[in-house]
Chain A
Amino acid sequence: MVTPLEILFVWTAVFVSFGCLSYLYRENPLFRAVEHLYVALSVGYGVSVDLWYFQNYLYNPVVYRGRWDFVIPWALIGLCYYFFFSRKYFWLYRIPIAIGIGYGTGAMLRGTVRANFVAQINAAIRYPLFAADLFTTFNRFVLFIGTFVSIFFFIFTVEMRGPLKSANRAARLFILGALGASFANTVMGRESLLIQRFQLLLGSKYFPWSASGLGSPEAGAYAPIMTALCCLGLLYIIYSDYRKKRASTTSAAPAYN
């Protein structure tokens, strides 16, 4: 059974979607209002997440598990974050930032070396180039040569002369091809998002209504009503813009009679 509250949820979602879509026609007050509302809601929600972190990672261990080593010195160092707003003592803000950067950089260096660097080089060179049939051998050669010249392309310490110039040109071929393939995959990815948004607007039963917090597919079936109203509103705005434009062009034309 669909409640009026669920229908309100769905209609609000459709209205906000159209607020964003209206930007495609032109910049308008509804879009600006939705944009600022979105910023405000995200920031407000972020405050509650921060408070939860405080409760779970500092308050509970200290008060319920007696971990005072969390407070001295670590929570006191954490207090230095608030010196961001002071001009005189700004350097104290740098202390927790520096600790975070040191840890983050150290942790990144550990993981990146093995997974992104050694393993990839391993995969490129450790395997046999020749196979039973000609096509697979050709593919393996292409893979090996392509990797080699493309890495070469990114090394800027050597001047590209003579045979290096042809290596450079071959590398450009590979990299441009990869960029074209990337573009095509990006199109597929972006369109999937858009298709899901249209499933919301048209009340399709294939939209994940409950996973998106908008109730149930039965409530979603009421979405097309709001979509139709919003489309009519958009058409009205387009029509009134057109009339204004025509009125301004006809009144601007001087009458030399």
Chain B
Amino acid sequence: MIIKTLTKRQENKLAWYRNKWLKIGLSTETFTLNQARPIIDDFYTYILKKDKPELIIILDSPLSTWIAVQLWNQVENQVVNQVENQVVNQVWNQVENQVRNQVVNQVVNQVENQVENQVVDQVWNLVWNQVENQVVNQVQNQVENQVVNQVVNQVENQGGIFVWPYCDGNFSASYCGYYDYIFSELIECECKQWEMYKNLSKLSLIYPFDDVCFLSQKPSKILLENGLLHCDKEAAIKYSDGFSVWALNGVEVPQWLVETKAEEIDPYKILELENAQQRAEGIRKIGMERFWYKCCRKIIDKYGDYELGLIPIEKGTGGKLYPYLKMKNPSVPELWHVEGIPDLTCTTVEQALHSRKPDKMRKIPVSDIGEDWYQQGDVYVWPRNANSLKLYPKILT
């Protein structure tokens, strides 16, 4: 019988599963080879349908694991083809192909399809969406969007091209939480492979090759504040080999921005950051007033919370003045953004705001009787084929 609505009891259980999988996804508990061996053996035997790997190698962080994978792959390739050039792209392609072929195809075919078919047959879309909203999305926001995303960025910063493994153990918490709820509370699961797949969440990143399986330990520390990665004194994610991620209010930032005292930070160093969110966090740390006082030589126009100022840029440009717009984030009032204006000749806030629009939108005439448009942060949405647009957005958040 198809399930069309959740009972009160089933609804109440959603939060329990959300918390359970958040805890697993954000776990800092290390595992031993003895604990990993039976989980990996089952994974190879029953899901990958392969011989158990002779060797399981556990590294301390995603970066050291990725380096080990690349080294191992190079050694293998040298044996196969001594004259082949070992350039990064080749390694990347080979590793990706092997992992994709061995893991994705098999896991997707054998676990996901079976699991999903059962769910699709028995659970109504609305119930599915409800579970997705209350379990998956919230676990995803913290585990994948925060921790995983920042770890990937940091490995790429230090290790170049990085292939995220298709089995990511406890980092699959949102996916596992979703099916764990459905199979524990709504329908019976007849898929033993699902139980084995779920067991992988006791581990972390997994690179399963034929003879060897590389595993990364979990972080030794994850610091979150209100669900966002944050620590204003040290790394917000730390692995035991020292690999770390620094973050302020959910934004991955350079180490110096966290570990330098606010009063010792050169505001120009913040201005040099290419990422707008990182700049905003830097400004939040040293304070907008100090930032603007130190950098802005002259304010040339004001409109509401906007200020258009001229900032002298010393490096390589001889102190030439450039227009910058100071803007308050409408959704997070304590957060200020300072962005360079593409039209270097603009003299008013109105011109500056117009100059920031995407090229295609900027070419559409502005008129009081123009069509409405919308802005969410730095994303603009406007009606296609509009003959004219109003000057300001109908909604700005």
Q: Do A and B bind each other?
A: no
